[in-house]
Structure 1
Amino acid sequence: MRRSVVLCLSLLLSGLSGCSTIGLTDLFTDYATQVTPVRQAISANNVDQAQQLLPNNGLSHSNYLLNQLETARLKELSNQNASAQINYEAIYLQMQDFRQAAKIRVSSSLEQGNALLTNDSVIEYIPAPYEMSMLHSYKALNYVYQNDIESALVEVRRANKVQVDALNENKQEIDSAIKDAQKYYPTMSEITLDVRNGYQNAYTFYLSALLYQSSKQFDDAYIDYKKALEINPSNVYLQQDVMRLAKKQGFKQDLVEYEKHFGQLEQPKETGEVIVFIEQGLVPKKDEFILQLPIYTSKGDARFYSLAVPVYKGSAFIPTISHVTIADKSLPIEPLVRIEALAAKTLESQAPARMTRQVLRLIAKEKVRAELARSGGDVGNILANIYNLASEQADTRSWSTLPNQISIARQNISPGEHTLKIGNNQPSIKFTVSKQGLTLIYLTSINNYFNSHVVQL
């Protein structure tokens, strides 16, 4: 019996035609489960072990681009920033080819067909817009650490273009018949909260505005601070940044309107500024949810079938660090982006297409089962059912080593030597502020893992 099962699986797998490949591990073990040890190693401050545990997939593997994203992120966490840039650039170039090459679109349709016999994991992983904007943001940061602001500005422009393109592409309405399938999908409102979509990221706009400001391109900085504020209007630091530049650039009417909504502008004299970014946690893993979906027969009878779909469970992330202390002044940190919300909102937007594939897959697998039952009797029927049950799993792939939340604190401060303190368990950070200069401090905190960068802009 075991040899028959293996033979049956081999025949089914050999029928998968297309450019991407998967292994048996990927077919029967979902991605989130595979990378759980990697995430645990990061949280235990053992990035070297995390790198060793990360699956190493070849160029033809359906998870290749995702694997490159995870690899680059782990290199950054171990301060191998130059090497991470190589991975990021490779992903960017391949995504450019993906958008331009017609043959990639053909192979994609083949993979969609293959997914009907297996699960969505066989489809080549294409990073979501929020993941691509984070890729360019990290590339920009790596250039900032090298004091190459010009190259960093190229990357933040690319990050912002990702959002503009996604906004334009998502203006089209989804067919109402397909969209109706969303009502069966589990809600993720406790994680998405008030986020509008899965691709507008105030963090990338804020980073670009900061770099424009450091390059004395104040009009461009003002535009991007405003975009960040539109996405995250409750952020007090953003409110002050926009008002400060409105006054500096002589936009008097804008300043009047902003002060009506946000109060008076605080305008210290002849000081420098320190800007603290802090990443906290890891974006949550996707879980599997068993969905009971009605399928109607040709006679109009409804039959309920169990389908596995990906979902984010739980409530919104609560950061462990809520304040930092600079020059004995406690500053609250304000969220810029909750990546978990972008991820969950992206998953919601994919529900109609995912549900359509699920229904088609159910029909295709049922036809295979019926054919095997006809030709192989009870044995064929049993083998088909074993395969269908084993291969029906949710596609839980996502860039799982991203932070959960990125926040900021910003403070005008006198020139000279200063100390930044973060709670009781993290080391103090010494830094220098110059008159009317910008000092960027970038922090990453993931349970027992902590890292920092200090740059004069």
Structure 2
Amino acid sequence: MRTHFNAGNYERAEFIADSLKDNEIYQDKDRVIYALEMGTIDFFQGDHEESVEAFSNAEEYMDQFFTKSMKMGLKAFLLNDNELAYNGEVYEDVYLNSFKSLSYLEMGEYESALIEARRIVHKLEQAESKYGDLATSMSKADTTSKEIEWKAGTSQIHDSPFGRYLSGILYAKSDKPDDARIELEKLKGAIKNHQMLPDSRVQFDSTFNKIDDPSQYNMVFTAFCGNGPKKVDNSLVIPSVGDQTGLKIAIPKLDMQPSQVTNVEVVINDTTSLSLPMIEEMDKVARETFKIKKPIIVARATVRGILKSVGEDAVSDAAEEEGGELLADAVGLLAGQVREASEQADLRGWQTMPGKVHTTLFKLPPGKHQVAFNYYATSGELLFSEKKTVTLSDGERLEPVTSIYSN
């Protein structure tokens, strides 16, 4: 599915996603994943109503499953994370609103687009508090005697340049200049904050200053590139020592997927060339915000590992009473293998999420225009070009044009 999506074959990617669902590869517990993938595929197919519906479903499922996870009690520790309903990561919950905002903008629904843009920022602001509440709930449910610290992690990212950018242009085009100016100032602060991330390439570009002057633009060009991080297994296995039963702590980590793209430009009518500065590194925000949930994943996996080890000891002791030490050793070995095999890191995630977003504003006269998005490597090599036709009937209406090159 991801291969076809990256190749721009969205129809085939959608067919595969639906087949996975029909054949119960995507099960009920994977509803969030299916909805995220369908939302992205629909968006880049130009099916914006369907995209909003899919992303809204993902958002609703995330809320339902998160609330349910706070009430599961001991059951949350006994089940492998893969058996639980997937309630999404912080960054998945955040970035689905980016696509909802752009979709509403495509449909000319400014107010709804603004609500979604504001939710991007709100979710980042509330993430640590939200997962702090989850950690408290898990701590109360933890009935083991081990001293395991239950807490949420911290992130230095609490704001979104892209969210501020979208909010600013939507306020400006809705005749709210004061709100647009405030968003422009907050955009500058958000970019400074993002520049603290390791190897950050985000800079404040002078073209962003257009935000609070709607007379200077009626086009917003947005280019996504690269891929979001991939989850890989990072489990820790502690072998048995003497009477101490071994322990496996199944946890994932995010593996970054570097993009070849370093520069993006838009060429209009083969005459005007515009550079699209990068405004947000979604993949690095994902890596940073994953720190919020990770301590909870580790603590839960540790408790589960302890409970399974205790159960393994109980089975071995019962076998020794029935058949002696030899049977106990055999049963213990088998139980240990079953325990390790049953402990698997949860590697589910939003496969079609892009890694970077570039954007700029421009003003075009009414009429038909040819637009080409060009993606370049550091060497200057043209990696990909996507051509689009834009028809403007109104010189003031805000028209979004969006492209993607996943590599």
TM-score (norm 1): 0.67
User: Structure 1: 5+ residue runs without aligned partners?
Assistant: 1-37, 183-194, 250-269, 448-457
User: What is the aligned length?
Assistant: 364
Indicate the SS of the match to 1:322: strand
* Aligned-partner residue type, residue 105 of structure 1: M
CA distance in 1, matches of 2:356, 2:175: 29
Which one of the candidate residues 96, 102, 119 is aligned to 1:141? 102
* Aligned-partner residue type, residue 222 of structure 1: R
Which one of the candidate residues 123, 127, 130 is aligned to 1:162? 123
Work out whether 1:444 is the aligned partner of 2:404: yes
* Aligned-partner residue type, residue 289 of structure 1: N
| 8 Å CA contact 1:332, 1:409 repeated in 2 | yes
CA distance in 2, matches of 1:181, 1:160: 19
Work out whether 1:232 is the aligned partner of 2:191: yes
Indicate the SS of the match to 2:165: helix
CA distance in 1, matches of 2:174, 2:11: 36
Work out whether 1:130 is the aligned partner of 2:97: no
1:311 deviation in Å? 1.4
| 8 Å CA contact 1:41, 1:50 repeated in 2 | yes
Indicate the SS of the match to 2:347: coil
CA distance 1:322–1:75, change in 2 (3 Å)? closer
1:404-441 per-position Cα deviation (integer Å, ceiling 9, x unaligned): 11111334567766543333642433446766664432
Which one of the candidate residues 190, 202, 210 is aligned to 2:169? 210
1:297 deviation in Å? 10
Indicate the SS of the match to 2:359: strand
Indicate the SS of the match to 1:232: helix
CA distance in 1, matches of 2:43, 2:131: 32
Indicate the SS of the match to 1:312: strand
1:56-86 per-position Cα deviation (integer Å, ceiling 9, x unaligned): 2699833222322222222223333222222
* Aligned-partner residue type, residue 224 of structure 1: E
CA distance in 1, matches of 2:336, 2:148: 30
Identity %: 22
CA distance in 2, matches of 1:283, 1:351: 17
| 8 Å CA contact 1:281, 1:319 repeated in 2 | yes
* Farther-moved stretch of structure 1 (48-57 vs 213-222): 48-57
User: Structure 2: 5+ residue runs without aligned partners?
Assistant: 137-146, 193-201, 320-326, 375-381
Aligned twin of 1:406: 357
| 8 Å CA contact 2:266, 2:371 repeated in 1 | yes
CA distance in 1, matches of 2:11, 2:211: 43
CA distance in 2, matches of 1:244, 1:81: 24
Aligned twin of 1:265: none
* Aligned-partner residue type, residue 267 of structure 2: T
* Aligned-partner residue type, residue 426 of structure 1: S
Aligned twin of 1:337: 280
* Aligned-partner residue type, residue 429 of structure 1: K
Aligned twin of 1:429: 388
Which one of the candidate residues 291, 299, 323 is aligned to 1:356? 299
1:387 deviation in Å? 1.6
CA distance in 2, matches of 1:181, 1:132: 17
CA distance 1:52–1:413, change in 2 (3 Å)? closer
1:200-254 per-position Cα deviation (integer Å, ceiling 9, x unaligned): 32212211211111112111222222222212145343x5434773xx69xxxxx
Aligned twin of 1:383: 334
Aligned twin of 1:291: 236
Aligned twin of 1:150: 111
Which one of the candidate residues 90, 105, 112 is aligned to 2:70? 105
1:112 deviation in Å? 1.8
| 8 Å CA contact 2:162, 2:279 repeated in 1 | yes
Work out whether 1:373 is the aligned partner of 2:316: yes
1:89 deviation in Å? 2.6
CA distance 1:404–1:297, change in 2 (3 Å)? farther
| 8 Å CA contact 1:111, 1:124 repeated in 2 | no
1:403 deviation in Å? 0.8
| 8 Å CA contact 1:272, 1:415 repeated in 2 | no
CA distance 1:360–1:139, change in 2 (3 Å)? same
1:280 deviation in Å? 0.9
* Aligned-partner residue type, residue 300 of structure 2: R
CA distance 1:334–1:71, change in 2 (3 Å)? same
RMSD of the alignment, in Å? 3.9
CA distance in 2, matches of 1:122, 1:65: 14
Aligned twin of 1:83: 50
1:443 deviation in Å? 1.3
| 8 Å CA contact 2:42, 2:50 repeated in 1 | yes
Aligned twin of 2:143: none
* Aligned-partner residue type, residue 106 of structure 1: K
1:167 deviation in Å? 5.9
Aligned twin of 2:198: none
Work out whether 1:325 is the aligned partner of 2:259: no
Work out whether 1:278 is the aligned partner of 2:242: no
CA distance 1:159–1:69, change in 2 (3 Å)? same
CA distance 1:427–1:52, change in 2 (3 Å)? closer
CA distance in 2, matches of 1:171, 1:362: 22
| 8 Å CA contact 1:283, 1:400 repeated in 2 | yes
CA distance in 2, matches of 1:177, 1:94: 29
Work out whether 1:61 is the aligned partner of 2:28: yes
* Aligned-partner residue type, residue 441 of structure 1: V
CA distance in 2, matches of 1:227, 1:295: 53
| 8 Å CA contact 2:312, 2:336 repeated in 1 | yes
* Aligned-partner residue type, residue 264 of structure 2: S
